[in-house]
Amino acid sequence: MAIKDILVHVDSTSKSDLRLKIGIELAERNDAHLVGLHAKPFPYIPPVTPDMGAMYSELIDEQQELIDQNADAAQKKFETALRNVKVSQEWRVASGDPSEVVRRNARYADLVIVGQSNEEADRQATDLPEGVLLSTGRPTIVVPNDPNVKTFARNIMVAWDDGIQATRAIHDAMPLLKAAENVTVMAVNPKDTGDHGASPC
């Protein structure tokens, strides 16, 4: 599988820095188009009560201002990271539930890069990254929030059986497998069929 379009979910926090780094590395390696995507959630609208009055409008305005500031910070992060990088690049901002925004855009990418759940950035993203993994049909890399991660895809472990999911995963991951220093194939209690099925050789 050729990787020509890479989508990276970018938020305003430092947790998306590693996502961007990995996206840039893969875009350079595969001569791919890199898309940075930021999702702007809608302001939370509390139940209206008679005593809310002007406070209601102020609350919405304050939320919207913070949402806009986070979007600007995410864009600055993306542009700074790619300032001296010679890859095809694109910045996108879309409003809506962050999980749905990422899923909708993910369906048009060859590879999607998201992070672990990050309530600090996406309080409304109730199923990110799980929703991307389970509902887009696209190869997805979930980058841990741990800032101490230093390497990416140098040592890869493949969980193998002879099912459709494992076969598709291997096919989609082939560019990463080829570039890895070590690849370990693991099969749990494989059936010895003798035909290279559940037990890899």
Provide φ and ψ at 35, rounded to 5°. Answer: -110, 125
pLDDT of the residue at 51: 65
pLDDT of the residue at 187: 85
Provide φ and ψ at 91, rounded to 5°. Answer: -115, 135
Q: Rounded distance, CA 33 to CA 15, Å? A: 22
Q: Which residues contact 72 (CB under 8 A, 6 or more apart)?
A: none
Contact between 88 and 32 (Cβ < 8 Å): yes
The DSSP letter of residue 125 is -
Contact between 16 and 74 (Cβ < 8 Å): yes
pLDDT of the residue at 44: 80
pLDDT of the residue at 65: 94
Task: Give the number of C-alpha atoms closer than 13 A to the C-alpha of residue 177, restricted to the C-beta side.
Answer: 13
Q: Which residue shows structure tokens 């992070």?
A: 115
Beta bridge partners of 171: none
The single-letter code of the amino acid at 173 is A
**Average pLDDT along the chain, 201 residues, taken 10 residues at a time:** 92 92 95 97 76 72 93 96 95 93 94 82 64 88 85 89 87 92 88 62 53
Q: Rounded distance, CA 8 to CA 10, Å? A: 6
Contact between 27 and 33 (Cβ < 8 Å): yes
Q: Rounded distance, CA 79 to CA 171, Å? A: 32
Contact between 178 and 145 (Cβ < 8 Å): no
**Token pair belonging to 170:** 């291997």
